[in-house]
Each structure stands twice: as structure tokens, then as C-alpha cells.
Amino acid sequence: MAEQPLSFETLAIHAGQDPEPVTGAVVVPIYQTSTYAQEGLGKPRQGFEYSRTDNPTRRAYETCLAALEGARHGLAFASGMAATATCAHLLRAGDEVLCSDDVYGGTFRFFTRVMEKFGVTTRYVDTSDLEVTRRALTDRTRMLWVETPTNPMLKLSDLTALAGIARDAGAYLAVDNTFMTPYLQSPLKLGADVVVHSATKYLGGHSDVVGGALLTNNDAIYETLKFHQNAIGAVPGPFDCWLVMRGLKTLALRMDRHCQNAHALSELLAAHPQVAQVHYPGLPAHPHHLLARTQMRGFGGMISFEVKGGLESARKLVQSTRLFFLAESLGGVESLIEHPAIMTHASLPPERRAALGISDGLIRLSVGIENLTDLRADLEQALNAALPSRV
């Protein structure tokens, strides 16, 4: 009888994490070592030579995350941006990247201000519009870089269709899966070549570590990325790997609660007189709601919304919440509130922000896993505090 494949929750706890062979420790140890004594000249034990190249704690974490993404290969990095930067080394001078127009501000900054210097140009398109994307490809396009849902406008792109478009053009499809996590969306199964993560967010899940990852099923892509992981060296230390691996064990439980809480709060916001518009893929009014229902296994924990009264109301609101901390980042157990135009997306030129809808009244929530009644009360009192009459 064929063995049944293990489910997500089980892989999160067991993949790459057999008991340690000497003592039987059930938790993978933090191998806090930079190097490994060799048995003889050119004879490393167990394949470990130097911790930039490989480390047992990192390897366990990479194995676990690869299993969760349904990937043959996983590589860990010191941050999401380090993962993005290493992935960009699949390109060479003269190549062009076609990138979702509404991406994390740091990703935009990296492609425009860093890669441009090396002769790799990036153009930005609304990848949720397949015809626009197809028409934007040129014979120099070597990579399609997609966030879905996007940060911060939560637009969705059809990954199966984009994988076909990329394949026809001979380009890689790289998907930043940070907002969804492997629990809610599987880009590799839909045809992506590489998945990118900021592990700082939901994967770690406790706002106590910065990390990144790349996952792929393609052996040739893996070899190139692995070479660059070692050659560039933007790797995480063993303790950071251990922290993210600990976070992964509860990823499924946490994501379920993030989704429930965010869905309920998106409905509260949609019904509130102080709110002009809510962006949440779980709302039937969201323009890509139907795609969300098929492509994702849940609608996620991120919401953005437009508050009436512009910057003044927005400022009042983000300074009035008590449980939602005013902070950049997302994906931790605690709820966060932020103002993209002044905070996470300040590196976008004002005219780009305006074109994307990142207005002065736009607010982003990372909904945590606190009790929903408490979150609801906190958001309501902050919205009331931001009413124009009180501004």
C-alpha cells in the first residue's frame, strides 16, 4: 500500500526535524558554530565545512520550509531583501524584469536603485491585468516578479495564467508569497519557478527575527541560487533559523486565526461611516474575490482601507489604537497598524503612490491573533477618535 503523504501541519513539525542522533533531543539544536573539524584533509564529516555554506540548523529549517512549499529545494537568507537580491542573480546585464506595480517599497527600491546600476532594467505593470502584462513583455524580459496579494493594495494576480505567459516568453516567474504563506497559497504548484519569502513575517510569526527564503523545484535554478547564497553570503545565523523553524510549527494554527480575525474586521470597516473603501480579498466586493476563492486557501490577515478625512484623520487613527501597535512589518501574533505613504512605501515617488492608490488616507492593518472582541473594540474606538469633527 502506498504511504499517504504527510499533511501540512505534520510536515511543519516533523520535516527535517528527526530527533538529534546523539542525545535524542526532540528539538533541532542551535548549532552555533562557524566551522567543523574535518576527519582528514578534504574529508568533512556529514558534508559540513563552513557555516556560510551550510549549517545543520539552517539545513533543517530549509528542509522544513521546502516541504511546506511543496518544493524540492529551500534556501534561507538573512532577510527577505537578501533573498530577493540573491534571486536577482539569476539575471545578467541587458535583461529586463517585469514587476507587479504594487510591490513592497523595498522591492521597488532594490530593482530601481540597485539592479539598474548593473544593467538590469525593471518595468512595472499591473500583473492582475493579463493582457497588459502579456503586451508588456519584450524579448529581453527574463523575469516576471509578482506579489499576490500585493502590498499594500491587496490586488491579486492569476498565477496559473502568468506562469503560462512567462513560459511562452522564456522568462522565470518569481512569486513573493510572504502575505499568503505556504499554508494559504502554493505558487510552485501553479507553475511558478521560484517562491520568495520574507520569513520576518508570518513564517517566524512572533516579530522577533528577520529572515528570508527562496524555494524552487527546478534543479538548475537551485544550483545557481545555492552558488550565489554561498558566494554572496547573505545567510541567517543558526539562532535565527531556529526561531523561524519554531514559528513554522504553529503556522497553520496562527494563519487560521489571522484569517478569521481579519475577515471579521474587514466587515466592520466596510460598514463604518468613517471608512471610504476597504481592500480585503475575502470581501465579495473585492475586484478579485473570485480568483481569491480558487487560488488561495484563505484570504489572509492583511487589510488596507481608506479613511475619510485624508492625512489628518489617518494620523489620528493610527495614533489612537492601543492593541494595534503603530509599526512597520506584519505577520506577527500582535496586531499592527501603519501608514504606507509615510512608512513602508515612502521609498516610492509620490506620483507612483498616487497612481497606485496609496493615498494619504490609506491605512494598513496586520491583524494579529488576539481575541476578536478586543480587536474590534480597539479599532472602533480609534475610528471614532478620528471622526472629522474631533480632528
For residues 251 and 203, give the distance between their C-alpha atoms in angstroms, rounded to a whole number.
Answer: 7
For residues 238 and 4, give the distance between their C-alpha atoms in angstroms, rounded to a whole number.
Answer: 32
Least distance in angstroms from the C-beta of 280 to ligand P1T: 16
CA neighbor of 157 nearest in space, from 137, 132, 120: 132
109: phi > 0 → left, psi -120 to 50 → alpha, else beta; which?
Answer: alpha
> And the C-alpha cell for 145?
516578479
Please check whether residue 64 is in contact with residue 12, taking contact to mean a CB–CB distance below 8 angstroms.
Answer: yes
Q: Between 210 and 386, name the residue whose CB sits nearer to ligand P1T.
A: 210
* Residue whose CB is nearest to ligand P1T in the complex, by number: 80
For residues 167 and 218, give the distance between their C-alpha atoms in angstroms, rounded to a whole number.
Answer: 14
- Catalytic residue (choose from 95, 101, 176, 360): 176
Side-by-side strand order, sheet with 73-77 = 73-77, 212-216, 194-198, 172-176, 141-147, 96-100, 121-125
Least distance in angstroms from the C-beta of 200 to ligand P1T: 4
Least distance in angstroms from the C-beta of 391 to ligand P1T: 26
- Catalytic residue (choose from 59, 142, 155, 201): 201
Quick check: is 104 catalytic?
A: yes
Q: Between 53 and 329, name the residue whose CB sits nearer to ligand P1T.
A: 329
Q: Between 193 and 338, name the residue whose CB sits nearer to ligand P1T.
A: 338
Q: Between 57 and 344, name the residue whose CB sits nearer to ligand P1T.
A: 344
Quick check: is 201 catalytic?
A: yes
Type of residue found at 370: E
> And the C-alpha cell for 225?
541560487
Quick check: is 102 catalytic?
A: no
Type of residue found at 12: A
Least distance in angstroms from the C-beta of 176 to ligand P1T: 5
- Catalytic residue (choose from 31, 36, 61, 104): 104
CA neighbor of 31 nearest in space, from 245, 249, 237: 237
- Report the SS3 class of residue 372: helix
Between helix 372-385 and helix 310-318 the angle, nearest 10°, is 140
Query: Which residues, at least 6 apart from 231, have a Cβ–Cβ distance to it below 8 Å?
Result: none
Quick check: is 256 catalytic?
A: no
For residues 349 and 355, give the distance between their C-alpha atoms in angstroms, rounded to a whole number.
Answer: 10
Q: Between 96 and 102, name the residue whose CB sits nearer to ligand P1T.
A: 102
Q: Between 17 and 112, name the residue whose CB sits nearer to ligand P1T.
A: 112
Q: Between 179 and 222, name the residue whose CB sits nearer to ligand P1T.
A: 179
For residues 329 and 137, give the distance between their C-alpha atoms in angstroms, rounded to a whole number.
Answer: 32
Binding site for ligand P1T (CB under 6 A): 79-81, 104, 106-107, 147, 151, 176, 178-179, 198, 200, 210, 212, 328-330, 344
Please check whether residue 90 is in contact with residue 225, taking contact to mean a CB–CB distance below 8 angstroms.
Answer: yes
Least distance in angstroms from the C-beta of 340 to ligand P1T: 8
CA neighbor of 195 nearest in space, from 207, 208, 185, 205: 185
Active site residues: 52, 104, 176, 201
